Amino acid sequence: MPPSKHIPDPRVLAVFEKMIEGVAGVALKGDQNPYLSMNGNMYAQMSKLDRIGIRLSKEDLAEFLETYQAGYHEGYPGFFQKEYAAIPEALYEDIETLRAWFRKSHAYALSLKPKPTKKS
């Protein structure tokens, strides 16, 4: 039997969508695991565990992890992404704070060296 299709939690997806509204011109990709990428570099995602993660610079990541007592984002069960902070559910109600951190994530993604993308 094929694995069942993951359907993102609508509540978490709504938070993710509100968070990214803080930056003009960004659009979610992916149906089962929504994410954002730029120049071949992913920088925000919603995991199969229905958790949001954002990629941050080393300095911003350290600040985020300490400020919110957060951990690394678990992109797939058992796989922790070392450049990504897991957004604590306690922040889901504070959209302005989420947007501020997302803007930092977006700025960091702009600074990354472009990666070649695979097109079919």
40, 116 contact by CB (below 8 A): yes
Q: pLDDT per residue over 2-52, tens digit each?
A: 667 889 999 999 999 999 998 999 999 998 899 999 999 999 999 999 999
Supply the Cα-derived Rg of the chain in whole angstroms. Answer: 14
Q: How high is the pLDDT of residue 1?
A: 60
Q: Which CATH number fits domain 13-111: 3.40.1350, 3.30.1460, 2.120.10, 2.60.40?
A: 3.30.1460
Q: How high is the pLDDT of residue 117?
A: 66
Q: pLDDT per residue over 93-102, tens digit each?
A: 999 999 999 9
Nearest to 55, CA basis, from 14, 108, 99: 108
> What's the CA dihedral at 84, 90, 94, 98 to 10 degrees?
0
Q: pLDDT per residue over 56-91, tens digit each?
A: 999 999 999 999 999 999 988 899 999 999 999 999
